[in-house]
Amino acid sequence: MEPVQLELARLAIDADEVESTLVAAGALEITVRHMFVAGWQTRFVLSNPATRPITLGVTWPWLVDPGAVGWAVADGAEAALFVQPHDGAGPILVGRLRQGAVVRFDEQGLALPEIVLDPGGRYVLGWDWDWLTEPSAYGRRWATLHPTVTTLVRGEVVLLPAGPDVALVVPDGIAVERDDELCALTAAEPRTAAVELRSARGLHVVRLTWTPTATELLAAVAGKLLAAPRGRTGVVRLPGLDAAVVVQHALRAEAVDAPDDAQDALDQFTARFEPDVLDPAGPDAAFGALFLAGEFERTGEPELLDRAAAQVLRATRPAPGLGVAATRVCAGLIVAGASPQAVMDHLIALAGRPAADAEPDDPLDRLALSVLTRHLHAADHQDDALVRAVLALGTELGSGLPGDPVRPWPAERLGRLLATFATLPDGVAEPTRRAWGVPAADLAARRTPTLIARLVGEPLGRGHRWLAVLASAGGPQ
């Protein structure tokens, strides 16, 4: 299909209505009407004034401002758009499809199914807009056929509505169990599937994905790394810290076919690794400490733990992975019979130090460090500042709303969010459940398979290191 150039033909503005008409060389007419009589409604009408049928692939550029977070559902007859501020304090603008169908919603806008308009034919797309004070109000106010999660680890079950008013069309290879109200679907192996739900509301197409487990994916990546040509020493040279973290996890999980090769590769990488040259505030410094602490656990060599602790003590500000690395270093020091007090004091000092105006800390890194220092103080009471930080960052995971992000986060960012939320204290569970309808830790668990799906088939990167952290901490194995 060729793009068409639209021109504004008419514009009418009344006290409670705005209508514009766009035309394309006499072959297409689009009327957009915003009405404010009973709330806010938007109506799109696509008309064919020509004498021959036309086939349309329509993408409408509804864009979410970068200052807000957009989340969307696009299942055909059911579609919704949620827009909320980054601070998670609300309110939330909600657009719900009233008429028509939407098959995709992303940073380019919404996409309609292919439309064939006969001469004089029309296609109508209608939206209703409203406000919510908090995300949990959506499920209480409106019914939805969209499942809680659409990306799962193989073997996990997704529930869809069943009953006499809903007809399901399920592809081969998906196991199905039904009762009077629900249909349980699962896949034993990684795959994607488009499941059709036909009801009085129209055709819904729910796209489901089952992924490998985190360790299966990381083991496959480690296997490719260890299959690389050997160097002059007869040992595979790991190309960087991400590779070393992945191989280390796969070896620890007993998920590599050649453990001796993996051990040799890790030994060689460790001997050549120079964490002191890393920027203490950069993305690799903390993971250097995490890797060295892991090597101490594997080999029992005290010098590796000393190097890991020294790396944590070099930190000058909250940095990605610092909380995870420091936790592992402190645990190693305790196991070795050494005091972690110097590391703990340093972390507490960093957490209490205000960020420089010229280089503000990432709120996610500061939250991760704050959570760790609360554990060091053995504090589990509700902290209003902590809850506000969690509610703000939870917008990036959808705040419990159905659907997926309009602008997907990079895999590294998603991994950092999930790893941080997995360590949140119990004190935030009830406030987040009230606001989102789901506790923060459960929200992170729901979204972890999304990270796995994002990394399947992707080149090795920082997202893999965070998946290794999640798998080591008890995520989807």
* Contact (Cβ atoms closer than 8 angstroms) between residue 48 and residue 27: yes
- Annotated domain spans of the chain: 7-141, 151-211, 214-472
Mean predicted confidence (pLDDT) in 257-273: 97
Could you give phi then psi for residue 158, rounded to 5 degrees?
Answer: -115, 140
Instruction: Answer with the residue of higher pLDDT: 5 or 303.
Output: 303
Amino acid in position 302? P
Mean predicted confidence (pLDDT) in 369-388: 74
Mean predicted confidence (pLDDT) in 411-420: 96
Length of the chain: 477
Could you give phi then psi for residue 208, rounded to 5 degrees?
Answer: -110, 145
pLDDT above 80: residue 392: yes
Helix or strand (DSSP H, E) at 444:
helix 440-455
Q: Please, which residues have CB within 8 angstroms of residue 338's CB and are 6 or more apart in sequence?
A: 305
Residue 323 CA to residue 329 CA, distance in Å, equals: 10
- Summarised one tens digit per residue, pLDDT across range 26-74 is 789 999 999 998 889 999 999 999 999 999 999 988 889 988 999 999 9
- In this prediction, residue 371 has a pLDDT band, given cuts at 50, 70 and 90, of confident
Q: What is the CATH number of domain 7-141?
A: 2.70.98.40
Mean predicted confidence (pLDDT) in 285-306: 96
- Summarised one tens digit per residue, pLDDT across range 91-113 is 999 999 999 999 999 988 999 99
- Asked if the bond preceding 91 is cis, omega within 30° of 0, the reply is yes
pLDDT above 70: residue 296: yes
- Summarised one tens digit per residue, pLDDT across range 438-460 is 999 999 999 999 999 999 999 99
Mean predicted confidence (pLDDT) in 270-292: 92
Output the pLDDT for position 377: 57
E-state strands within 135-252: 151-153, 157-161, 167-169, 175-178, 182-186, 191-199, 202-211
Instruction: CATH number for 151-211: choose from 1.20.1110.10, 3.20.20.80, 2.60.40.10, 2.60.40.1080.
Output: 2.60.40.1080
Average pLDDT of the residues of the chain? 92
Output the pLDDT for position 2: 73
- In this prediction, residue 475 has a pLDDT band, given cuts at 50, 70 and 90, of low
- In this prediction, residue 381 has a pLDDT band, given cuts at 50, 70 and 90, of low
Instruction: Answer with the residue of higher pLDDT: 200 or 320.
Output: 320
Output the pLDDT for position 213: 97
Residue 230 CA to residue 237 CA, distance in Å, equals: 7
Output the pLDDT for position 358: 58
- In this prediction, residue 154 has a pLDDT band, given cuts at 50, 70 and 90, of very high
